[in-house]
Amino acid sequence: MTGGASASAEHDELRQVVRKFLGERSPSHAVRRLMAAGEERDHEVWSLLAGQLGLTGIAVPERFGGAGYGPAELAVVLEEMGGALLVAPYFATVALAGQALTASADEDAMARWLPGIADGTLTATLAVAEESGAWDLAEVAAAAEPAGGGWAVTGTKLFVIDGHTAGLLLVVARAPDGLGVFAVDGGAAGVEAARLDTLDPTRALASVAFNGAPAVRVGVGRDTAAWLPQVLDLALAALAAEQLGGAARCLDMAVSYAKVREQFGRPIGSFQAIKHKCANLLVDVECGRSAVFHASAAAATGQPDAPLAAVLAYTHCSQAFTRAAKECIQIHGGIGYTWEHDAHLYLRRAKSSQLLFGPPARQRARLAELAGI
Amino acid sequence: MRFDYSQELEDYRAAVRAFIERHGPGARKHVGVRAPDPDQVPALRAWVARLYAAGYLGQTWPAAYGGRPGATIEHTFIVAEEIARARTWGEIGAGALAAGAVLAFGSEAQRQRYLPRIRSGEDLWCQLFSEPGAGSDLASLKTRAVRDGDHFVVNGQKVWTTNGHHADLGYLLARTNPDVAKQAGITAFALDMRTPGVDVRPLREITGTSDFNEVFLDNVRIPAEAVIGEVDGGWRVANASLGHERSGVSARAVELYAQLDDLVELARRTTTAAGRPAIADGATRQRIGRLAALAHVTDVMSKAVRSRIANGTEDAADGPLAKVFFSEVNLAMTECGVALQGVGGMAVEGDRQAYADGWWQDAYLYARAYTIAGGANEVLKTVVAERALGLPRDKR
Ligand SMILES: Cc1cc2nc3c(=O)[nH]c(=O)nc-3n(C[C@H](O)[C@H](O)[C@H](O)COP(=O)(O)OP(=O)(O)OC[C@H]3O[C@@H](n4cnc5c(N)ncnc54)[C@H](O)[C@@H]3O)c2cc1C
């Protein structure tokens, strides 16, 4: 298959390193073992990924122990992780919580938590969605009240990625003066988290109930409305990158199989019906790659069209990934319909990712709005 | 032209419906599931026996073997439709398929031997056709059957054998002559699944359940009297019996209607971002409207096919065409069912957030089977193009 959404030789190199690492450390059987055991990660893999490769710190500013890169490099890593279906709290910790802390520009908060994220000792997540499941700030009902010198958070968050294992929960809640982000220790009193049974067993989602949980406000002194929406856009762009990786992997699997599986005395890839399916998927993947590249570059440099670019990438890659996963099953025939083949794991991941940040209808409506329609 | 049933047939339908309500096995068939749980099997054997005894299964067989005089293929369709409507179990396994082959090609001794035990539910059959290397290209199958006195010795492997783990008998295709054109060297057998050398190993499907199996055949000795039809004549036997699967055509439309009702109910119960019931949302109404149209088209199309089958004017492309259409509508419906649940569509069976205990999520995964099993859609489309449209044939 082709390379990736790389701007530079540096990106290519990063991609190769991550791909090789995941190929060795997160092959299918490892993914399945974690999945079956319901574990959130392989600790050895996590420490290598954080320590040796420095991937947890990739988007963390250097002064907080990271490599100081941004969304574009993170996208490269996430694409590879999506391709490997890595079971680890990476997306939640790095793409959600890490980027949220950085975007908050809250020196105290950054100094307190980013070094832990960068060196892999702290896992974290961002809790936005509630009853409706949508990542829509207007629907946030969780409340934060001043308590003692800090805050107390009350409310229930749903579909929180790695919400039951995260060391740090960044909770979007309503304070008397408006929307805010509140840092709650995963083990704090008044926090009750439970994993949900969802379509995708490779990504843990949890419901987290907060009952007067002690919290620290993040982004004090700054208008949350000025930076939190950007965090959500970064999240969309990041998820799109991960989806792109999944789609590309499905295409790879389908093409490799179509080359070797013979029926009627020739490879099934020689039948035009199969060729066209694969070609359509390549069109999807290549367009997705451009969309992801555009979205992460726009987010990195704070372009005014960054929100549009993010929704666009998410919408396109959601579709590309689900389609690729379905065609991958179809092209594999009976084998693609088995539990043992990985195709369904990608379909499960694709379908859940498509819904995770709000279903397609909502995203399309937002896209139209952002495009000025 | 109308395809409705006559009053007499509608009365028959009412009787079938009442019978299922009264005697049905109760267990609602879970969406997409093709094989029962082991503990359900005894009750379902009894249910199959009851359906046969009442004349609701096997009714078009010759009267000498238990058929019901005056029964037509339309009665068969009605029974299949009512079973689908009740979302319950019908015949388990490939009994009807095997009976069709035995009736059309079997010896009198075979009919006496196999048919009563199909009727009594004592023998469940599986279909041992597909192999790891022979799926769409079934005729390239490699399982070998070599004559040894009054037996054949069979070696090879079958795969995707639905109900293989419950089956007493297998309707097997094996190669008896490797030196002729691939279709000309195949023989059909009735295999006792308890013969030494038959090893059935369950496979799990996409949902994690186990409906199908791989079946390894290691020096399995099959008596020559278990050959169905002529030696090397198995391709004709298989093709004729594959045609028997067509009674499913109209039941599929019933399934789609039931799903459509569920979809509407779901749209009533879920709310959109704007806080209205989804059913009041324009885009949702359009989507469901489109699916309703497709379900209705499936229905009228299957009725047309059904009436052509009944009066013997069926086109060879009818079955493939109906199957392709149904399987794609079915996919679209399950997609819609999951989509209507919004982010909650991620929750599955066992989760408190799950709608209808994850029914739609299962349906969404199971729906992939219909575009592959019983002929992959890509291959069927080629068949349609060649048979119905007369386009130049693909090399095969
Ligand atoms: C749920 C389920 C239950 C089943 N139950 C049984 C059973 O009980 N007994 C039994 O014998 N079998 C059973 N099967 C097997 C089924 O009949 C085969 O899966 C089917 O025929 C396809 O064969 P395959 O899986 O080998 O795919 P392949 O034939 O390898 O096809 C792979 C892909 O190549 C495409 N392809 C192949 N040839 C062509 C062509 N000429 N032109 C264009 N595209 C082509 C196909 O469309 C498909 O997308 C079952 C299958 C499923 C999924």
Torsion of CA B226, B229, B231, B235, to 10 degrees: -120
Chain B residues in contact with A352 (beta carbon < 8 A):
346
**pLDDT at residue B3 in the model:** 65
Among A201, A223, A245, the domain boundary falls at A223
Give residue A104's Cα distance to chain centre. Answer: 19
Whether residue B127 has its Cβ less than 6 Å from ligand 1: yes
The whole domain housing A62 covers 5-122
Q: Is the CB of residue A271 less than 8 Å away from at least one CB of chain B?
A: yes
| Mean pLDDT across chain A | 95
For the segment A184-204, the average pLDDT, to the nearest whole number, is 97
- For an interface test with A, the pick among B159, B334, B343, B351 (most A C-beta atoms closer than 10 Å) comes out as B343
- Between vectors from CA A247 to CA A242 and to CA A248, what angle results, nearest 5°? 95
**pLDDT at residue B244 in the model:** 56
Shared domain check, A105 and A23 = yes
Cβ distance B197 to B218 under 8 Å?
A: yes
Rounded to whole angstroms, how far apart are CA atoms A19 and A248? 13
- What is the full per-residue pLDDT of chain B (396 aa) written as tens digits? 456 778 999 999 999 999 999 999 876 777 777 889 999 999 999 999 999 999 999 999 999 999 999 998 889 999 999 999 999 999 999 999 999 999 999 999 999 999 999 999 999 999 999 999 999 999 999 999 999 999 999 999 999 999 999 999 999 999 999 999 999 999 999 999 999 999 999 999 999 999 999 999 999 999 999 999 999 999 999 988 766 555 577 788 999 999 999 999 999 998 877 778 899 999 899 999 999 999 999 999 888 888 888 888 888 888 889 899 999 999 999 999 999 998 999 999 888 889 999 999 999 999 999 999 989 999 999 999 998 899 999 766
Which residue does chain A place closest to B349, by CA atoms?
A197
Per-residue pLDDT tens over the stretch A299-351: 888 899 999 999 999 999 999 999 999 999 999 999 999 999 999 999 999 99
Cβ distance A282 to A255 under 8 Å?
A: no
> Which CATH number do you get for residue A215?
2.40.110.10
Q: In one letter, which amino acid is A166?
A: A
Cβ distance B208 to A339 under 8 Å?
A: yes
Whether residue B209 has its Cβ less than 6 Å from ligand 1: no
Beta bridge partners of A157: A208
Q: What are phi and psi of A159, to 5 degrees?
A: 55, 40
Atom in ligand 1 nearest the alpha carbon of residue A272:
43
Distance B291 CA to ligand 1 centre (A): 27
Instruction: Kindly determine whether residue A196 and residue B140, on different chains, have CB atoms separated by under 8 Å.
Output: no
Distance A257 CA to ligand 1 centre (A): 14
Shared domain check, A365 and A232 = yes
Burial label, A286 (beta-carbon count in 10 A; 0-12, 13-18, 19+) = middle
Q: What is the CA radius of gyration of chain B?
A: 22
Within a 10 A sphere around the Cβ of A323, how many other Cβ atoms?
19
Instruction: Copy the structure tokens of residue A257.
Output: 């199989």
Beta bridge partners of B191: B170
Q: Which is it for strands B169-175 and B151-159: parallel, antiparallel or unpaired? A: unpaired
Distance A333 CA to ligand 1 centre (A): 5
Q: Which is it for strands A205-218 and A191-195: parallel, antiparallel or unpaired? A: antiparallel
Could you tell me the pLDDT band of residue A4, with boundaries at 50, 70 and 90? very low
Cβ distance A145 to A176 under 8 Å?
A: yes
Q: In one letter, which amino acid is B279?
A: I
Shared domain check, A342 and A256 = yes
Distance A36 CA to ligand 1 centre (A): 29
Instruction: Kindly determine whether residue A330 and residue B368, on different chains, have CB atoms separated by under 8 Å.
Output: yes
Cβ distance A360 to B335 under 8 Å?
A: no
Whether residue B326 has its Cβ less than 6 Å from ligand 1: no
Per-residue pLDDT tens over the stretch A115-149: 999 999 999 999 999 988 889 999 999 999 999 99
Nearest neighbour of B368 by CB, restricted to A129, A207, A337: A337
Among A122, A148, A171, the domain boundary falls at A122
Q: What is the pTM of this model?
A: 0.96
Q: List the one residue out of A84, A81, A91 whose CA is nearest residue A124.
A: A91
Rounded to whole angstroms, how far apart are CA atoms A88 and A46? 7
The CATH classification number of B246-387 equals: 1.20.140.10
Shared domain check, A349 and A285 = yes
Instruction: Copy the structure tokens of residue A337.
Output: 């319909």
How many separate domains does chain A show?
A: 3
Of all protein residues, whose CA lies closest to atom 3 belonging to ligand 1?
B373
Could you tell me the pLDDT band of residue A276, with boundaries at 50, 70 and 90? very high
Q: In sequence order, which residues have a C-beta less than 8 Å from that of residue A370 and are 6 or more positions away?
A: A307, A308, A311
Instruction: Kindly determine whether residue A337 and residue B206, on different chains, have CB atoms separated by under 8 Å.
Output: yes
**pLDDT at residue B353 in the model:** 84
Q: Is the CB of residue A208 less than 8 Å away from at least one CB of chain B?
A: no
Whether residue A261 has its Cβ less than 6 Å from ligand 1: yes
Distance B209 CA to ligand 1 centre (A): 19
Rama region for A2: left / alpha / beta (φ>0; ψ in -120 to 50; rest)? beta
Shared domain check, A134 and A100 = no
B168 secondary structure, DSSP code: S
Chain A residues in contact with B283 (beta carbon < 8 A):
361
Shared domain check, A199 and A255 = no
**pLDDT at residue B78 in the model:** 93
pLDDT at A3 over 80: no
> According to DSSP H, which parts of B232-372 are helical?
234-242, 248-269, 282-310, 318-340, 359-370
Among A223, A248, A270, the domain boundary falls at A223
The CATH classification number of B125-231 equals: 2.40.110.10
**pLDDT at residue B166 in the model:** 97
Shared domain check, A133 and A79 = no
Which residue does chain A place closest to B281, by CA atoms?
A361
Shared domain check, A204 and A74 = no
Of all protein residues, whose CA lies closest to atom 1 belonging to ligand 1?
B369
Chain A residues in contact with B207 (beta carbon < 8 A):
339
Of B91, B124, B128, B136, the one to substitute when testing ligand 1's pocket (max ligand atoms within 8 A of C-beta) is B136
Could you tell me the pLDDT band of residue A1, with boundaries at 50, 70 and 90? very low
Q: Is the CB of residue A38 less than 8 Å away from at least one CB of chain B?
A: no
Shared domain check, A208 and A241 = no
Instruction: Kindly determine whether residue A333 and residue B136, on different chains, have CB atoms separated by under 8 Å.
Output: yes
Q: CA separation (Å) from B27 to A28, A223, B21, B41, B44?
A: 37, 58, 12, 11, 9
**pLDDT at residue B1 in the model:** 46
Shared domain check, A359 and A255 = yes
Among A50-54, A156-160, B323-327, the minimum mean pLDDT is found in: B323-327
Write out the CATH class of domain B7-92.
mainly alpha
Of B217, B324, B379, the one to substitute when testing ligand 1's pocket (max ligand atoms within 8 A of C-beta) is B379
Q: What interface predicted TM-score (ipTM) does this complex get?
A: 0.95
> Which CATH number do you get for residue A270?
1.20.140.10
Shared domain check, A219 and A163 = yes
3-state secondary structure of A296: helix
> Which CATH number do you get for residue A34?
1.10.540.10
Atom in ligand 1 nearest the alpha carbon of residue B394:
41
Instruction: Copy the structure tokens of residue B304.
Output: 């047309």
> What residue spans define the domains of chain B?
7-92, 125-231, 246-387
